Structure 1
């Protein structure tokens, strides 16, 4: 019997995740059955259950993959000298999310899926743990970036790095929620808004 390559296994797992993500975005987690996922990906139950035991594992894998992708972007940015400023970096990350680099979805559909994941954590302890781990990882990645900003002379050292990290994460989360709820949350709007805030300084008194 021919041995199945790791590349083939990875591609099949990816196929299942992409199909499940589209089902969840379209119908919600509770409105999607495993049978819906099987139909979406065009695979047998045995082929899918080889990778995932059920919906909860699929949801957790989707959340974990999204966090890993975003965290890598932050970690790579921290290695640049000088690191990209928050407006540039957050714009780049949101473009990666909105342009469907993770699941090939339209911008608002992708944002809606992310918001659904957040909501699901309120009732799903396993997913809450995945989200919590991802949040901690993103805070650590941003804190590393803050230290890089300080080393490059771009940021003062009088504010705790974690405070800056949580504020910037909240900014990105807010834009994702705006896109999911209202649409029109273009990454360049976030970039311009942050750039405007970053330009503020002491007022000159005439």
Structure 2
């Protein structure tokens, strides 16, 4: 009997995750059945359940994978001295995240932004997913905080603003940009990059009274 290689196992797992992501983005988590996932993946129930026990495990795996990639990219940037400027850094990480899922499309448009919004809507009902997202958010926020400290140490960012405030703002900008794509249609990452660059070019505001 031929031995199943790790490459084959990884490819099959990828096939299942991509199929589930498309189904969740198209119809939402609760309107999607495991039968829908089986049909999208063109696999038998046995083949899918070998990897995942059900929808909850599928969506958690998808989210963990995305957050892991984003976290690794920001932690890599935090290790540079000084880190790349915010406009370039955000554009590079977001481009990398979207590129890994560029084959997932619905009606010719990227499915990833719609998937993100569907995941958000599931958080209040899924404690395990909420915990995974909370942990991932904290890790990305901490990595951004270290990046900001690198800017401040290099003298390229004012030092009187707490790094965590900047971290939260940058995460909000990225999440808002993804939400816009889900609601109003695709937009190139350069839009976010150029907007951040313009904001960064403004002179310091007058001190608050």
Residue of structure 2 in register with 1:121 after alignment? 123
TM-score (norm 1): 0.91
Q: How does 1:120-139 map to 2 (within 5 A)?
A: 120-139=122-141
Pair 22,103 (structure 1): closer, same or farther in 2 beyond 3 Å: farther
Q: Does 1:104 align with 2:106?
A: no
Once residues 33 and 117 of structure 1 are traced to their aligned partners in structure 2, the CA distance between those partners, rounded to angstroms, is: 16
**Which region of structure 1 is more displaced relative to structure 2, 26-35 or 181-190?**
181-190
Q: What is the number of equivalent residue pairs in this alignment?
A: 203
Partner of 1:28: 28
Aligned-partner Cα distance in 1 for 2:60–2:88: 29
Shift of 1:93: 2.1
Partners of 1:62 and 1:115 lie apart in 2 by 13
Q: CA separation in 1, counterparts of 2:57 and 2:168?
A: 27
Aligned to 2:184: 182
Counterparts of 1:203 and 1:25 in 2: how far apart (Å)? 42
Q: 1:24 to 1:203 in 2, by over 3 A?
A: closer
TM-score, structure 2 length as denominator?
A: 0.90
Matched, 1:45 2:28: no
Are the aligned partners of 1:17 and 1:58 in contact in 2 as well (CA < 8 Å)? yes
In structure 2, C-alpha distance between the alignment counterparts of 1:103 and 1:129, rounded to whole Å: 27
Q: Deviations over 1:58-89 (max 9, x none)?
A: 01111111111111111122223331111111
CA separation of 1:37/1:202 partners in 2, compared to 1, >3 Å: closer, same or farther? closer
Q: Distance in 2 between matches of 1:88 and 1:143?
A: 17
Deviations 1:76-129 (A, max 9, x none): 222233311111111122222334x13622454210111111111021111111
Q: Cα 1:203–1:173, aligned 2, differ >3 Å: closer, same or farther?
A: closer
**Matches of residues 126-165 of structure 1 in structure 2 within 5 Å?**
126-165=128-167
2:57 alignment partner in structure 1:
57
Give the alignment partner of residue 175 of structure 2, picking from 173, 177, 181: 173
Ranges in structure 1 where 5+ consecutive residues have no aligned partner: none
What is the deviation of 1:202? 4.0
C-alpha RMSD of matched pairs (Å): 1.8
Distance 1:133 1:68 in 2: 10
User: Which residue in the other structure is 1:71 paired with?
Assistant: 71
Shift in Å, 1:203: 7.0
1:152 shift after superposition: 2.3
Instruction: For structure 2, list consecutive stretches of 5 or more residues without a partner in the other structure.
Output: none
Q: Which moves more between the two structures, 72-81 or 32-41?
A: 72-81
Moved over 4 A (4+): none
